[in-house]
Structure 1
């Protein structure tokens, strides 16, 4: 007997009805009966059968959207220069770049040599002007390092987790995932006919690898049973995995680890961090077989990172930390272990309540400060005087790099070379396609290397972006970013309410910054406004903005979003029957909570890989990533207060017998971050509890990708197709033209 009733054979599609199998959960004397926990068994035939039935129902309910989906897909494709190339990046004696070709989903990774005269004189800025790369035109000396299309052949899913060339340029270390579960297999490829690649592979690693300076070793990370990166290994080329050395292991289940190196390549680094605490270990890269040493032992609540600079001929550490400084400061110290509090170090950038310091990139000639001010990401430069005295001399002030638009995103780009006389940086906004600039550090001159080309005659002057503010229930002002076409803005100015998509995230101190999207034009050109609610829990307005939207203040995230929606309605921009909300992952939790709090404000809600059953997941430390998440959400397993607080907002547990808007939930079977079972259970319970979830005009739909992970499908054409489907649903639900 099937565990559910499939679609009926009548003319109107009928949603699958999952069988109820009561499962009792009890903590702190609280009992919750979960009827759909059986869907967690991923390998059970009835689970697969149910998910396939949900997909079939969604296909049936959205069959009439297919023409619009095809139209949006073709619009996206027509705006993209499919045969294209990236701006070459100089590393060592080579320029590295990628090519994409029409009809091919993945990039080709290539390189050409830097002329010898510029290798011999790296200080010459002329040697840092990238070569002109043209579609379908091979450059002299061009070498194909990897064709992603060839590697992806025969796989439904393909993702690169590492692509790193040894310092001498002779060997490539690369890692791939063909399941979507973020477990990668590491392999090696010779890039020099005189050098033989080792016939070996290392499977089951996390993303990323780091070469030793001498090219004899690579360092990689493995994960534990809960998918937590917990161990760093040293692999010597030409040996087997059984010979690899375990160089670092983190037993604390609330910590992740990663391995890398300073830009100067002077130090290899291991960083261990929880959501609130970090610890950095270093090793001189000239001794890759040596022992790592701790820069400063971890102290709960203190986060720091370390960069290496040379000032006055001395090795110095540039340290960004929050010891006594919620929005972080930048300090410097001699390179080596640090004794005593970080707050006692010499400060280069003081704490400010209105500016969040995000870190420093150190180069031979300049320090680059990343910071956030006015809910926008910015950067500033501080030249390093080679004649200054380390630790005692005066540093030049950091000077901001200024831009003209009200809303924008800016920051350093790909700059692998420590001794470069130029700085590559990126810039863009909701209306300005992404740009890549080169900044001459000696003269300050900016050179535009490339602007994202949008085919079909895109004109940024035909669109407008602006900042608005909503007022939360407690009086807090919440920023909203808005973008729309000039025609839509004129309609709003004349008093018309327009269809609107309101996006939100609001977790992990992550910020949703202004960025251009080719696909989004298909919404804007149909008369929709696009809005971003920068709710608490994100990082747009500093550390306290984050702190006031996590753990026992998490409900602020949800109520801020509701207040932003009400503001857009009360201001006349839109109306409840024209407003669609969207969020993914932790933003999917936001969508689930908002659906319960204020369903009357929305025509539809789209939840992508949504974290909608947070209490069940956070109560299960054996699940991937759960213990790490306790610093973000709280620990309901051991705290009655946290349990009750999470239970008060958990979307799955707070479904009520009331009218909900149309809902589209999108998930992936192989997602290891937010398991497919959460949206599957959520949809099943919505249908069982809320009558509107079964209606034809406000259906609750689930689409599960059966061979993908947290990031969804792989391959650019598949991603465009997925976006086109979601946008078609949004356009119809919002009543756009």
Structure 2
């Protein structure tokens, strides 16, 4: 019976190309005016869990050999590939082709804002200045170095270490992972991913001869560290389920791998890092809310691991080596917004931890960066970041401050540990990125670079606002707005409302050149920081997860309604956009208030929450139970997730037009989630939409590789947004008959 049903489903799928059916005439199939929407076969698939039974009629879209497909997308079952190709053909004909001229214009605008032969500010290490640059027209970065004495001389002598354009030329997908020179700067280790599945290969190149040394490490997570001796590389292994689960030592002379650490709990991912002092290598293991760390001297081969503190549920910590001690950022002892403690390197217990910066409710401690005589502390208060500097042996602190209403700030590397210089990156929605070197002794700021916009950009032409939108329970939700100074605030402007809202990740008020193509056409670009992020501290995150997850969705809707109330726009004139967990947000708000939105862009959306959180084999499922709950064992978690999971709550609602994307090799949000969601939307709400599904058949979570290929995908999304806002009429977004 199952086989017969499957074959019937396969027959249904194979009739979908160009939207024709077996009953159509030959003439109709040869030149249809436009393809109709594909209709996926419905094959009953019952799932019984905690005494509850549900039917998932599109479960067949998940290839049971998905692990192999991640590594080789050509292995995808023909019937699944056929359906996805039919969806892509529909989207191309109905959306991409009908916005062709506009998409080309948008692409050319966005490309014209990119300095094609751009280069990074060099980072100085061991007598060399390392940097990346692009050639005119190049898709991928070139990694190069010059002598440190010529660090800031663009005409100084250059050695090209890796040429991304040459390496990615014949690949459907190409991305660099980590790149790092050996301690004596004679070798270069680097990772590459050619599938988008985030399985990296690590190779080692002789810098002087340019030759590959023959070192090949496979199934790597991308993270690695050199031994201080230069004789070994410590690297993170990614298992068959895609989880970073172990650390190995690769002996470069023998080619042998020795296990250093293995994590047995599938809910914990393994990480690896070297201290700024380069004296210590850390191995971390952690889930979303629990962590544990070990260390060993960087020059120790076949190391003996030293525990910093044993794992405790819902206790997090991260470690920096400074002034001969460990400085630890932690939430131990009820420090919700984290505090900074220190401990002797001989300690392996929290009992030895001494407060350096005590817990301050409302001031979120994000992390620290060490230079020999200074410690830089990243904080966020009132939604805005800042850097606080402390000198060794001196309790006095000073703050690096900024004046704009909303901005983004990040600490960067750039100098060796003994140099009293700190590098940071600054930007705002209207101010292009700046790279600043800060003299820790004199407090002098040296502007090393401002992002160049070749087609021109005047920050004074734009208005940046930061408002607080009251949510359903009175909580104030931060919203950052960017608009052109000529855009009226009278309810006529369309708004692109962007949101994420999970894992404590706060979407920054940064600068993105692509947004200007919407803003210059009269859009207001709005970034919402709902609960589930940490814009207002760690409690803001806690209030948007597990059984409080719906706060995230309600906050986003409240922000949209507040913009309507204040005259920025009107109902049905907001285009919502989010990706990954932000795609979950898109699916949830579509179910809760579809009439608020004129369109929805859901990129690689995490919408099949109940099924995914019930599948222990998927890479992220066990580590994410602390975020969403475990519906395999917890009845309350099952009911909570079932109540909001977008896929499980699709109904006959008047959904707005949607553009939904995914990638076949995506290990984070598997391709079948957006595919199943689109199929169910079309089946349950056929007179709403329309729904456009676009699946990358050769890439993963981050879409097409290459800086210009990525712009083409953004151009498709923005063309859809303009069409959904009624600003172009070349694409038919009317409801299906």
**Alpha-carbon distance in 2 for matches of 1:518, 1:661:** 27
Structure 1 residue 486: Cα displacement: 0.1
Match of 1:150 in 2: 166
CA separation in 1, counterparts of 2:313 and 2:401?
37
1:108-507 → structure 2 map (5 Å cutoff): 108-115=142-149, 130-133=151-154, 137=155, 139-140=156-157, 142-193=158-209, 198-240=213-255, 243-310=256-323, 315-324=324-333, 325-341=335-351, 345-385=353-393, 395-488=394-487, 491-492=488-489, 495-507=490-502
Aligned equivalents of 1:267, 1:293: Cα separation in 2: 11
| Post-superposition offset of 1:153 | 2.0
| Pairing 1:50–2:83 present | yes
State the distance in 2 between where 1:501 and 1:359 align. Answer: 32
Does structure 1 residue 20 correspond to structure 2 residue 42? yes
User: Does structure 2 conserve the Cα–Cα contact (< 8 Å) formed by 1:472 and 1:563?
Assistant: yes
Q: Is the 8 A contact 2:385 2:408 kept in 1?
A: yes
8 Å Cα contact 1:382/1:398 also seen in 2: yes
Q: Does the 8 Å contact 1:24/1:33 carry over to 2?
A: yes
Please say if 1:575 is aligned against 2:588. Answer: no
Contact 2:491 2:564 in 1 (8 A): no
- Measured against aligned partners, the alpha-carbon deviations of 1:418-461 in whole angstroms (never above 9, x if no partner) come to 11121111111000000001111111010111100012221000
Deviation at 1:414, TM superposition (A): 2.0
Within 5 Å, which residues of 2 pair with 1:455-604? Answer: 455-488=454-487, 491-492=488-489, 495-604=490-599
1:703 to 694, 710, 716: 694
Shift of the alpha carbon at 1:5? 3.3
Q: When the two structures are superposed, what TM-score results if normalisation uses the length of structure 1? A: 0.92
Q: Deviations 1:343-394 (Å, cap 9, x if unpaired)?
A: x632111211111001111110100001111112221111113xxxxxxxxx
Match of 1:716?
707
Alpha-carbon distance in 2 for matches of 1:710, 1:40: 16
CA distance in 2, matches of 1:709, 1:417: 35
Secondary structure of 1:530's partner? strand
* Alpha-carbon distance between aligned partners in 2 of 1:398 and 1:360, rounded to the nearest angstrom: 14
Name the TM-score, length of structure 2 as normaliser: 0.92
- Of 25, 36, 43, the match for 2:58: 36
Q: Counterpart of 1:391?
A: none
- Report whether the alignment pairs 1:70 with 2:100: no
* Counterpart-to-counterpart distance in 1, 2:55 and 2:299: 59
Equivalent-residue separation in structure 2 for 1:57 and 1:109 (angstroms): 40
Partner of 1:654: 649
The question of whether the paired residues in 2 share the 8 Å contact of 1:2 and 1:46 is answered with no
> Counterpart of 1:613?
608
Q: Is the 8 A contact 2:12 2:40 kept in 1?
A: no
User: 2: CA distance between counterparts of 1:498 and 1:548?
Assistant: 32
Q: Secondary structure at the match of 1:84?
A: coil
For the Cα contact (< 8 Å) 2:342–2:356, is it kept in 1? Answer: yes
Please give the alpha-carbon distance, in whole angstroms, between the structure 2 residues aligned to 1:453 and 1:548: 40
Structure 1 regions of 5+ residues with no counterpart?
116-128, 386-394
The 3-state SS of whatever aligns with 1:653 is helix
* Range with greater deviation from structure 2 (676-685 or 358-367): 358-367
Q: Determine which of 10, 16, 26 is the counterpart of 1:5.
A: 16
Which whole-Å deviations, capped at 9, do the CAs of 1:159-181 have from their partners, x for residues lacking one?
Answer: 11121111110000111111111
Q: Is the 8 A contact 2:383 2:535 kept in 1?
A: yes
Question: 1:691 Cα shift?
Answer: 2.4
Q: CA–CA distance in 2 between the matches of 1:327 and 1:554? A: 20
The alpha-carbon distance between structure 1 residues 525 and 246, as it changes in their structure 2 partners (threshold 3 A), is: same
Deviations 1:499-518 (A, max 9, x none): 11000000000001111111
Shift of 1:197: 5.7
Alpha-carbon distance between aligned partners in 2 of 1:261 and 1:496, rounded to the nearest angstrom: 52
Q: Displacement, 1:12?
A: 4.3
Aligned residue in 2 for 1:663: 658
Q: Which residue matches 2:7?
A: none
Structure 1 segments (4+ residues) deviating >6 Å: none
2: CA distance, partners of 1:507 / 1:97: 33
Checking the alignment, whether the CA contact within 8 Å between 2:16 and 2:86 is kept in structure 1 is no
Q: Is the 8 A contact 1:580 1:733 kept in 2?
A: yes
SS in 1 for 2:641: helix
Instruction: Return the alpha-carbon distance in structure 1 between the equivalents of residues 148 and 525 of structure 2.
Output: 44
Aligned twin of 1:123: none
Hey, what's the Cα distance between the residues in 1 that align with 2:263 and 2:698? Answer: 31
Using the TM superposition, name which of 328-337 and 586-595 deviates more.
328-337
Please report the RMSD computed on the Cα atoms of aligned residues, expressed in angstroms.
1.4
The CA deviation string for residues 398-421 of structure 1, in whole angstroms up to 9 with x for no partner, is: 321111211111232223511112
Does structure 1 conserve the Cα–Cα contact (< 8 Å) formed by 2:231 and 2:251?
yes
Match for residue 71 of structure 2?
none
- Rounded Cα–Cα distance in structure 1 between residues aligned with 2:172 and 2:624: 31
Matched, 1:734 2:721: no
CA separation in 1, counterparts of 2:415 and 2:693? 43
Distance in 2, Cα, partners of 1:216 & 1:237: 6
